[in-house]
C-alpha cells in the first residue's frame, strides 16, 4: 500500500528535518508542519504495522493527505533550489504532547508554522507564534480558538460567522425578491446561525432580508414543509443547521415536490462533503452552498498532482492533498519574498495556486485592536441535475 510506505518514510525521519537543498553553507529558511499523522497508532515498536497490509484506517487519512500535499509542494520548491529546513511533527504522538513538541530547541529559529489542527490545539499553536513573532497558518479548522490580540495568526477556513455573513450577502444580492424560509432544528449551533443572520439583518446598509424561521423535528415530513411553501412564488429554503443528515433530508424532501413548487435550497459549509447530491433523487432542484476552497482541478498543477497520484498511489488525490500543497507553496513563497517581514504581508494575494484567498484583519469591536487574520473569500457552488459548478 502506497500510503503505508509513506507512513514508514515519515517514521524514519524521526520528525527532524527535510532539507530542500544539500549545500550546508547556504542559509535555510526553517518552517514547521504540524499534522495528525497517528504514527503511534499505526505502528508497534516503531516499525511493525498494527493492521493487515490491505487495511488502512480511515482516521489516519486527513492528516496524512494534508502532509502528502505539503510534501509535493516541498518537492517542487526543492526543484527550484530553494533552501529550506522543514520540521514535521505528529500531533497524535503518544510519547510527546503538542506542548512538548513546541518546546523543542530546533523550533527556536523557525520562521513559519503550518498546522492542520483541532479545537484543542489552535490556541497553543497561535500563542507559540505570538511568542516567537512568526506566522501560524491554521489551514483547516474554521475556528479562531478564542485567539485575541495576535497579528501572527491566520484562519484560512472561515469561521461560521464569516460564512453566515457571506451567505446572507449572497442571498441579498441574488434572492432578495424570493420568499425566504430558514428551516432549522433545535440546538445551540442552530441558534448561533440564526443569531448571525439576525445580527447582520440589523447592521446591513442594504434592505434587510425578510426571513421566516421554521423549527422542524428530526423526523420532519414533506407535508410539514408544504405548510410554508407557495406554489405560485419562487422560494429559497435556507438550511439553518450544520447537521449534514438534516441537510440531506431537507434537500431530498424538497426535491420530491420540485415539479409543483419552485424552490431552491441554500445549504451550509458542511455540505461541501456531501456527495449524495449527485444521485438521481436530488435532480431537478438547485442546491447551493458556500466553500472557501474551490478547485476545478483543470489547471496544470492540479492535473500534475492528479497524474502523480494515479501513477504512484493508484488513487485520486483528496481535497486535503490540494490544501496541503496550496498552503505550503503559497506561504513558503511569501516567506522567501519577505523574510522576517512576512507577518506584515499575510494578506498578500501573490503566489495563488488553486483558490483566491482574501486575508483580512479581524478587529476586536470593543477596543478596535487586531485579534487575528481571516480568509473572507467564499465561493458559491451549485448542484443541479447531478452536476456541480461554481456560480459566484
What CATH number does residue 267 fall under? 3.40.50.2300
Complete DSSP assignment for 188-201: HHHHHHHHHHHHHH
Tell me if 362 is assigned to some domain. no
Residues 246 and 386 occupy one common structural domain: yes
The lowest-confidence range among 35-49, 117-131, 305-319, 371-385 is 35-49
Number of residues written out for the chain: 392
Residues near 143 by Cβ (< 8 Å), separated by ≥ 6?
119, 122, 155, 159
Q: All 3 cell numbers of residue 199?
A: 445580527
Residues 88 and 13 occupy one common structural domain: yes
Q: Which residue has the cell 490556541?
A: 123
Task: Calculate the CA 269 to chain-centre distance.
Answer: 10
Residues 42 and 110 occupy one common structural domain: yes
Task: Please count the other Cβ atoms lying within 10 Å of the Cβ belonging to residue 234.
Answer: 13
Tell me if 41 is assigned to some domain. yes
- Residues 213-249: tens digit of each pLDDT: 999 998 999 999 999 999 999 999 999 999 999 999 9
Residues 272 and 202 occupy one common structural domain: yes
Task: Please count the other Cβ atoms lying within 10 Å of the Cβ belonging to residue 72.
Answer: 22
Residues 220 and 313 occupy one common structural domain: no
User: Contact 211/238 with Cβ under 8 angstroms?
Assistant: yes
Tell me if 316 is assigned to some domain. yes
- pLDDT at 20 (0 to 100): 42
The Cα 299–Cα 303 span in angstroms is: 6
Q: Which residue has the cell 442571498?
A: 171
Residues 23 and 130 occupy one common structural domain: yes
Residues 211 and 285 occupy one common structural domain: yes
363 three-state secondary structure: strand
Residue 6 has pLDDT above 90, yes or no: no
Categorize the per-residue pLDDT at 35 as very low, low, confident or very high, splitting at 50, 70 and 90: very high
Residue 175 has pLDDT above 50, yes or no: yes
- pLDDT at 116 (0 to 100): 97
- pLDDT at 48 (0 to 100): 66
Tell me if 27 is assigned to some domain. yes
Categorize the per-residue pLDDT at 51 as very low, low, confident or very high, splitting at 50, 70 and 90: low
Residues 196 and 310 occupy one common structural domain: no
| Structural domain range at position 99 | 2-157+297-357
What percentage of the chain carries pLDDT values higher than 90? 77
The Cα 119–Cα 389 span in angstroms is: 31
Query: Cα separations (Å) of 341 from 152, 153, 185, 297?
Result: 11, 14, 47, 32
Q: How many domains does the chain have?
A: 2
Instruction: Give the mean model confidence (pLDDT) for residues 146-173.
Output: 96
- The phi, psi pair for 41, rounded to 5°, reads -80, -25
Residues 47 and 60 occupy one common structural domain: yes
Tell me if 246 is assigned to some domain. yes
- Residues 260-286: tens digit of each pLDDT: 999 999 999 999 989 999 999 998 899
Task: Please count the other Cβ atoms lying within 10 Å of the Cβ belonging to residue 379.
Answer: 18
Residue 128 has pLDDT above 70, yes or no: yes
Residues 28 and 89 occupy one common structural domain: yes
Residues 153 and 7 occupy one common structural domain: yes
Residues 128 and 180 occupy one common structural domain: no
Tell me if 63 is assigned to some domain. yes
The Cα 86–Cα 190 span in angstroms is: 41
- Check residues 205 and 326 and name the one with the higher pLDDT: 326
Query: Cα separations (Å) of 3 from 50, 63, 89, 290?
Result: 14, 12, 18, 31
Tell me if 364 is assigned to some domain. no
Tell me if 253 is assigned to some domain. yes
Amino acid at each position: 500500500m502506497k500510503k503505508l510506505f509513506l507512513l514508514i518514510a515519515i517514521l524514519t525521519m524521526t520528525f527532524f528535518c527535510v532539507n530542500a537543498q544539500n549545500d550546508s553553507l547556504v542559509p535555510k529558511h526553517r518552517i514547521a508542519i504540524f499534522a495528525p499523522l497517528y504514527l503511534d497508532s499505526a505502528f508497534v515498536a516503531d516499525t511493525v504495522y498494527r493492521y493487515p497490509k490491505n487495511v488502512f484506517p480511515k482516521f489516519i487519512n486527513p492528516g496524512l493527505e494534508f502532509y502528502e500535499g505539503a510534501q509535493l509542494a516541498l518537492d517542487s520548491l526543492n526543484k527550484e533550489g530553494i533552501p529550506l529546513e522543514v520540521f514535521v511533527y505528529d500531533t497524535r504522538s503518544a510519547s510527546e504532547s503538542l506542548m512538548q513538541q513546541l518546546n523543542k530547541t530546533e523550533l527556536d529559529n523557525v520562521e513559519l508554522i503550518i498546522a492542520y489542527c483541532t479545537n484543542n490545539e489552535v490556541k497553543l499553536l497561535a500563542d507559540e507564534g505570538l511568542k516567537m513573532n512568526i506566522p501560524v497558518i491554521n489551514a483547516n479548522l474554521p475556528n479562531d480558538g478564542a485567539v485575541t490580540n495576535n497579528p501572527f495568526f491566520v484562519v484560512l477556513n472561515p469561521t461560521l460567522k464569516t460564512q453566515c455573513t457571506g451567505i446572507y450577502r449572497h442571498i441579498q444580492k441574488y434572492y432578495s425578491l424570493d420568499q425566504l424560509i430558514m428551516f432549522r432544528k433545535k440546538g445551540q449551533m442552530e441558534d448561533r446561525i440564526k443569531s448571525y443572520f439576525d445580527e447582520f439583518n440589523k447592521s446591513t446598509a442594504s434592505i434587510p432580508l425578510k426571513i421566516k424561521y421554521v423549527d422542524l423535528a428530526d423526523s420532519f415530513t414533506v407535508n410539514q414543509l408544504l405548510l410554508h411553501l407557495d406554489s405560485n412564488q419562487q422560494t429559497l429554503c435556507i438550511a439553518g443547521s450544520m447537521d449534514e443528515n438534516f441537510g440531506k433530508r431537507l434537500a431530498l424532501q424538497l426535491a420530491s415536490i420540485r415539479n409543483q413548487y419552485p424552490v431552491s435550497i441554500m445549504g451550509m459549509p458542511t455540505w461541501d462533503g456531501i456527495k449524495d447530491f449527485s444521485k438521481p433523487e436530488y435532480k431537478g432542484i438547485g442546491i447551493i452552498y458556500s466553500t472557501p476552497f474551490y478547485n476545478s482541478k483543470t489547471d496544470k498543477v492540479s492535473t500534475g498532482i492528479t497524474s502523480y497520484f494515479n501513477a504512484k498511489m493508484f488513487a485520486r488525490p483528496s481535497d486535503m492533498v490540494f490544501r496541503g500543497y496550496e498552503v505550503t507553496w503559497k506561504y513558503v513563497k511569501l516567506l522567501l519574498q519577505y523574510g522576517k517581514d512576512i507577518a506584515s504581508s499575510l494578506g498578500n494575494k501573490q503566489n495563488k495556486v488553486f483558490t483566491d484567498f482574501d486575508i483580512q484583519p479581524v478587529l476586536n469591536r470593543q477596543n478596535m485592536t487586531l485579534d487575528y487574520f481571516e480568509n473572507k473569500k467564499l465561493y458559491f457552488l451549485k448542484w443541479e441535475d447531478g452536476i456541480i459548478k461554481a456560480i459566484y
